């Protein structure tokens, strides 16, 4: 469950993500796959090259923030993502890597607008996704 203190930061992210989510996910994948080339085996690199994966994650982040008060609206997309993750064989060890690079990408793209409180709210959200 996302904490009450984190929630306003996720709410406040909606307009920011509307504008910047694709920039964030482009930076995220470039940095993560640069630091962890072994993860390229998991990804369809055609979808990376075409930008499909960056767009898909950007849409998922926006949908999560925009529907934080309405989890039922997220259920179909979460189910699809969980099936995809299960199919590619994700493990718990992958999550800290994704969290580090996603938070790093938010900071890199938003600069000073990414306050410590905003980053810690997203850290919490990534840590408990998809059950919060």
**Interacting residue ranges for ligand HEM, rule: CB under 6 A:** 39, 42-44, 47, 53, 56-57, 60, 80-81, 84-85, 88, 90, 94-95, 98, 126, 129
Closer CB to ligand HEM, 4 or 86, in the complex? 86
User: Minimum Å distance from CB 19 to ligand HEM?
Assistant: 19
User: Minimum Å distance from CB 77 to ligand HEM?
Assistant: 7
Closer CB to ligand HEM, 46 or 111, in the complex? 46
As a whole number of angstroms, the distance between CA 125 and CA 43 comes to: 23
User: DSSP states of 23-70 as a string?
Assistant: HHHHHHHHHHHHH-GGGGGTS-HHHHHHTHHHHHHHHHHHHHHHTTT-
């Amino acid at each position: 469950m996302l904490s009450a203190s984190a929630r306003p930061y996720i709410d406040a992210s909606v307009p920011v993500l509307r504008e910047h989510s694709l920039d964030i996910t482009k930076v995220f994948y470039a940095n993560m796959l640069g630091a962890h080339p072994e993860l390229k085996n998991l990804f369809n690199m055609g979808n990376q090259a075409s930008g499909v994966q960056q767009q898909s994650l950007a849409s998922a982040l926006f949908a999560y923030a925009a529907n934080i008060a309405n989890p039922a609206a997220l259920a179909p997309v979460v189910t699809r993502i969980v099936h995809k993750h299960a199919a590619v064989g994700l493990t718990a060890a992958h999550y800290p890597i994704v969290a580090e690079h996603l938070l790093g990408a938010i900071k890199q793209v938003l600069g000073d607008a990414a306050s410590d409180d905003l980053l810690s709210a997203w850290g919490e959200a990534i840590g408990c996704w998809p059950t919060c």
